[in-house]
Amino acid sequence: MTREQFRPDDHPNEQFILSTVVGSYPKPKWVDRVRERYEDPDDSFDEGDWAEATDDASRLIAGEHERAGLDVVVDGEMRRNEMVEYFAERIEGYEFNGPVKVWGHNYFDKPSVVRDVEYDDSWLVEEFAFTDEVAARPVKVPITGPYTLASWCFNESYDDDRALALDLADLVNEEIGKLVEAGARYIQIDEPALATTPDDHAIVGDCLDRIVAGLPEDVRIGLHVCYGDYSRIYPEILDFPIDEFDVELANGDYEQLDVFKEPEFDLDLALGVTDAHVAEV
List strands edge to edge, sheet with 268-272: 141-144, 186-190, 220-225, 244-248, 268-272
254 vs 222, which has greater pLDDT?
222
Question: What does the pLDDT read at residue 281?
Answer: 66
Question: What does the pLDDT read at residue 111?
Answer: 96
Question: What does the pLDDT read at residue 78?
Answer: 94
What is the mean predicted confidence (pLDDT) over 115-125?
97
Contact indicator for 214, 173 with CB cutoff of 8 Å: yes
Predicted confidence (pLDDT) at residue 97 exceeds the cutoff of 90 = no
Give one DSSP letter per residue of 28-61, joined into a string: PHHHHHHHHHHH-TTS---HHHHHHHHHHHHHHH
Question: What does the pLDDT read at residue 176?
Answer: 98
Measured CA to CA, the distance from residue 271 to residue 57 in angstroms comes to 26
- Give the gyration radius of the chain's Cα atoms: 19
pLDDT band of 9, cuts 50, 70, 90: confident
Stated pTM of the model: 0.94
Domain ranges (residues) in the chain: 3-272
Q: How many other CB atoms are there within 10 angstroms of residue 280's CB atom?
A: 5
Q: pLDDT per residue over 155-203, tens digit each? A: 999 999 999 999 999 999 999 999 999 999 999 999 999 999 999 999 9
Predicted confidence (pLDDT) at residue 1 exceeds the cutoff of 70 = no
What is the mean predicted confidence (pLDDT) over 60-72?
95
Query: In terms of C-beta distances under 8 Å and separation of at least 24 residues, what long-range contacts does 8-16 make, across chains too?
Result: 8/71, 8/137
3-272 belongs to CATH 3.90.220.20:
no
Element (H, E) at 125: helix 125-134
Q: pLDDT per residue over 75-94, tens digit each? A: 999 999 889 999 999 999 99
pLDDT band of 105, cuts 50, 70, 90: confident
- Residues whose CB falls within 8 Å of the CB of residue 212, separated by 6 or more in sequence, listed in order: 173, 221, 241
Query: How much of the chain exceeds pLDDT 90, in percent?
Result: 72
What is the mean predicted confidence (pLDDT) over 239-248?
95
What is the mean predicted confidence (pLDDT) over 264-274?
91
Question: Facing residues of 187 across strands?
Answer: 141, 221
Question: What does the pLDDT read at residue 243?
Answer: 96
Predicted confidence (pLDDT) at residue 219 exceeds the cutoff of 80 = yes
pLDDT band of 262, cuts 50, 70, 90: very high
